[in-house]
Amino acid sequence: MVFFEQLISSAGLAVWVLSGVMLMAFLIQLIYYLGTFSKIHRHRHPELSGRMHGISVIICARNEAENLRKNLPAFLDQVYPDFEVVVVNDCSTDDSDEVLMTLKLTYPNLHVTSIQEDRKFTHGKKLAVTVGIKAAKFDHMLFSDADCYPASKNWIKLMSRHFSSNKELILGIGKYERKKGLLNLLVRYETFMTAMTYISFAIKGHAYMGVGRNMGYRKDLFYKHKGFASHLKVLSGDDDLFVNEASTRQNTTVEISTDSFTYSTPPDTFRKWFRQKRRHLTTGKYYKASSKFSLGAELMSRMLFYGTFIALLTFDYWKYVALGAFFLLVINKLIVIKMNMKRLDERDLLLPSLLLDPLMPLLLGIIRIANIFRPREPKWN
């Protein structure tokens, strides 16, 4: 009783406000991790029919000669009975044409369509994707990028097995290669957290984005939504903005088996990663209000939790409450993250997550501020 009397008498209004905010942030974080993010570990792919649809793989490339030479055979060598790979060579000025023509001699299922440069008309990747879709001979399509390669020869089989009369949109995982260094940990951790978030939400029936490095949808769905018409003014967003608009609880599903992943070479400097994230974050403001609220609530609650935790450490008695809440939340988060890292094959990121989890909101906040004060036109890709 004496303890509580001292606690009440010594705690000012500010302390009670801080503790209330921390409790609210604590509960929100628990809800996200135990109620949403834990769904990845529990997710099981449903038993699917043995029907194999004809598949068109669409890859858009601009000045990607070396990547096409290195990565395209991995798509063309897939073990699948009926598929084509459509490469849209978009205004390339390198030797992409020669690389593609050489590959075409070996792979008859490679089809190339080109967009010629028009100095009076500039365009983003959405035009190239649209041209690829129109050139595709199959209704069921998978998408990736020239700087990516599939994890296995069963990539098409695993991604396309979900297509059915009611499943029109398939979300996959696009990862970065594992390399040495702190930057690689940062890049892969941020990519893992993004994947954990959008895959979890999709499993719950609230898909809000996908990655163009690994996704699929039906041509009918594309035309139903008039392509990218609703966000054509935004140069980027051929993947996440389309998913945000076209996905429903019924028509979207995920594929997260390790053989269905695609891999890319990660940025090798912090500056390159920073620029890349600036480009990626330009589309978030165009999401549906419900998507922005859900994502903002998680990020804001994480920032508030760590902020109030640090503030309460300066007060007697309250620092023990703050430490107790901190360790309880961290333990729950580590359990969920560990299970998901095992499922998504990123086991070495568990310990770094202790530092990167509170650091990432700060970095993303800096990037968002940079985009506000120094708007940056997204590049083609």
Rounded to an integer, what distance in angstroms lies between the CA atom of residue 157 and that of residue 48? Answer: 12
What pLDDT is stored for residue 121 in this prediction? Answer: 67
The answer to whether position 245 is within a domain reads: yes
The answer to whether position 298 is within a domain reads: yes
**Does 93 lie in the same domain as 70?**
yes
Q: What is the pLDDT of residues 310-369, one digit of tens each?
A: 998 988 888 898 999 999 999 999 999 999 999 999 989 999 999 998 888 888 888 888
Assign residue 78 the CATH number of its domain: 3.90.550.10
The answer to whether position 284 is within a domain reads: no
**Does 101 lie in the same domain as 26?**
no
Segment holding 217, helix H or strand E? strand 215-218
- 241, 272, 303 - which closes a domain: 272
Q: Is 93 exposed, middle or buried (0-12, 13-18, 19+ CB in 10 A)?
A: exposed
What pLDDT is stored for residue 230 in this prediction? Answer: 87
- 221, 238, 272 - which closes a domain: 272
**Does 122 lie in the same domain as 13?**
no
**Does 133 lie in the same domain as 225?**
yes
Segment holding 360, helix H or strand E? helix 350-373
What pLDDT is stored for residue 317 in this prediction? Answer: 80
**Does 133 lie in the same domain as 72?**
yes
Identity of residue 292: K
**Does 53 lie in the same domain as 29?**
no
- 215, 240, 272 - which closes a domain: 272
Query: Among positive and negative, which fits the CA dihedral 205, 208, 214, 215?
Result: positive
What pLDDT is stored for residue 325 in this prediction? Answer: 94
Structure tokens, 319: 């620092």
Low-confidence ranges of the chain (pLDDT < 50): 1-8
Dihedral angle of Cα 92, 95, 97, 100, to the nearest 10 degrees: -120
Dihedral angle of Cα 100, 101, 104, 105, to the nearest 10 degrees: -140
CB burial of 226-235 (b: ≥16 within 10 Å; e: otherwise) equals ebbeebbebb
**Does 306 lie in the same domain as 182?**
no
What pLDDT is stored for residue 157 in this prediction? Answer: 95
**Count of domains for the chain:** 2
**Does 209 lie in the same domain as 122?**
yes
Q: Going by DSSP bridges, is the β-strand pair 148-150/262-264 parallel, antiparallel, or unpaired?
A: antiparallel
**Does 52 lie in the same domain as 35?**
no
The answer to whether position 258 is within a domain reads: yes
The answer to whether position 56 is within a domain reads: yes
Q: How far is CA 134 from the centre of its chain?
A: 25
**Does 141 lie in the same domain as 57?**
yes
The answer to whether position 58 is within a domain reads: yes
The answer to whether position 142 is within a domain reads: yes
The answer to whether position 285 is within a domain reads: no
| Structural domain harbouring 201 | 47-272
Q: Are 109 and 155 in contact (CB under 8 A)?
A: no
**Does 110 lie in the same domain as 18?**
no
Alpha-helix residue ranges (DSSP H) falling in 231-317: 240-246, 270-280, 289-312
**Does 134 lie in the same domain as 85?**
yes
pTM for this predicted structure: 0.89
Question: How are the residues of the chain apportioned to helix, strand and coil, as percentages rounded to the nearest 5?
Answer: 55, 15, 30
